[in-house]
Amino acid sequence: MTSSTVTVMLFLSFFVSSMMAASAGNFYQDFDVTFGDERAKILNGGQLLTLNLDKFSGSGFKSKNEYLLGRIDMQIKLVSGNSAGTVTAYYLSSQGPTHDEIDFEFLGNLSGDPYTLHTNVFSQGKGNREQQFHLWFDPTRAFHTYSIVWNSQRIIFLVDNIPIRVFTNLETIGVPFPKNQPMRIYSSLWNADDWATRGGLVKTDWTQAPFTASYRNFKVSTTTSTSTNSLTEQSAWQTQGLDAAGRNRLRWVQQKFMVYNYCSDLKRFPQGLPVECRRSRF
């Protein structure tokens, strides 16, 4: 290997490292406010974003970039206290009538009750694949990491790196899978007291407003952009599945904390459960 080759390799290594550092999440660089005006605030030089909801409006943001497959991580601290009627949504979505979408939605609660984490997957405009969970911690007291691993084989929903749901690619048996439409990251805090808490029985208490959700440490690893993770971590999502430990954690979450599963709702599907419900989840 010649000295000039070594020099070029060192330069490329430095360039890649610089690009990796530059791609670390910064809300000024990575996101645009979509509504709410001053209710959405970017703070600490772009390292923190807060959304607020009052009686007049909620607020939201979306990513400047679109992503086609990858791993998305975001740390969120949810609305504290009596958050009944509010929804904090964090999701990936494309546009149009046949859009794809991967959802986290956090349904507010009365003080002392658990938050409900609502998940859903849309492919080619069709959703109705809801699973809901109660979290095993108080998501309002500290930041927790909510992640989506999205590769061509499966979608994995993770909370603090613990898998809570897997949606497997079953295109071979006719189940559409979202892998062809680039999606943006969206988040919003809004009032949904017609359905969010106990089916709409508990309304938003506006004396508690403004309601606030906070975001930090956004990271993304895709085929076209990298985070500050190691090269191994950057590529791991492309084939990521669940090993034995991951399957055990998934079972633990689903057995102890799942409160709704469309794949168990025989009343909703009297003609038979969706075909993906009858196949392996891993």
* Secondary structure class of 220 (helix, strand, coil): strand
- Residues whose CB falls within 8 Å of the CB of residue 261, separated by 6 or more in sequence, listed in order: 131, 132, 254
- Distance from C-alpha of 261 to C-alpha of 254, rounded to nearest angstrom: 9
Task: For residue 107, count CB atoms less than 10 angstroms from its CB and return exposed for 0-12, middle for 13-18, buried for 19 or more.
Answer: buried
**101 given a catalytic annotation:** yes
* Of 105, 171, 233, 276, catalytic: 105
- Is 233 among the catalytic positions? no
Catalytic residue chosen out of the listed positions 38, 101, 130, 233: 101
Q: Considering only CA atoms, which of 163, 130, 134 is closest in space to residue 146?
A: 163
Q: E strands along 21-69, which residues?
A: 31-35, 40-43, 48-53, 59-63
Give the closest residue to 281 by CA, choosing from 252, 245, 251: 251
Q: Where are the beta strands (DSSP E) in 36-100?
A: 40-43, 48-53, 59-63, 70-77, 86-93
Contact by Cβ (8 Å): 58, 196 = no
Distance of CA 22 to the CA centre of its chain: 23
**CA gap 164, 246 in Å, rounded:** 10
Q: Are 251 and 98 in contact (CB under 8 A)?
A: no
Phi/psi of residue 98, each to 5°?
-110, 40
User: Which residues belong to the active site?
Assistant: 101, 105
